[in-house]
Amino acid sequence: MADSNRRGENAADDRDDQVTDDVVEGDETDDLDEEPVSRGGTATRSRKRAGSADSRPKARPDTDRVGIFGRLARFFREVVAELRKVIWPTRSELLTYTAVVVVFVAVILAIVTGLDFAFGRGVLWVFGD
């Protein structure tokens, strides 16, 4: 059954045939800058290759450093941006989740109480009053 779900060996070749490269005549440096990147067979995209040390972005000099208040402001802006991405539960979902947690805690509490009572009685039976 697992063999019937697998793709044949030609599936990767078919996928490669669908990807086309637009190359301009005489512009051979573009071939070196981009290479297809495979993501486990899900998609293929192009990515720039890491160039020499001269082509990398330069680090900012120490005179352009942001102060403590600038960093704090950026931190809070990023926190607010992340909180806007959160999918908040509705009121009914929140009540349902709360009820599930309370019931689960009550069941575990009953189990632990029962085990504690049983072990206490067992210790008293073995070692006496």
Q: What is the pLDDT along the chain (129 residues), one digit of tens a residue?
A: 555 555 555 555 555 555 555 555 555 555 555 555 555 555 555 555 555 555 556 655 555 688 999 999 999 999 999 999 999 999 999 999 999 999 999 999 999 999 999 999 999 999 987
The span from the CA of 74 to the CA of 76, in Å, is 6
The span from the CA of 92 to the CA of 99, in Å, is 11
Instruction: Look at residue 129 in the predicted model and tell me its pLDDT.
Output: 72
Rg (CA), the chain: 31
The span from the CA of 80 to the CA of 84, in Å, is 6
Q: Could you tell me the end-to-end alpha-carbon distance of the chain, in angstroms, rounded to an integer?
A: 64
| CA 33 from centre of chain | 28
The span from the CA of 16 to the CA of 47, in Å, is 17
* Cβ-based neighbours of 32, under 8 Å, separated by 6 or more: 49
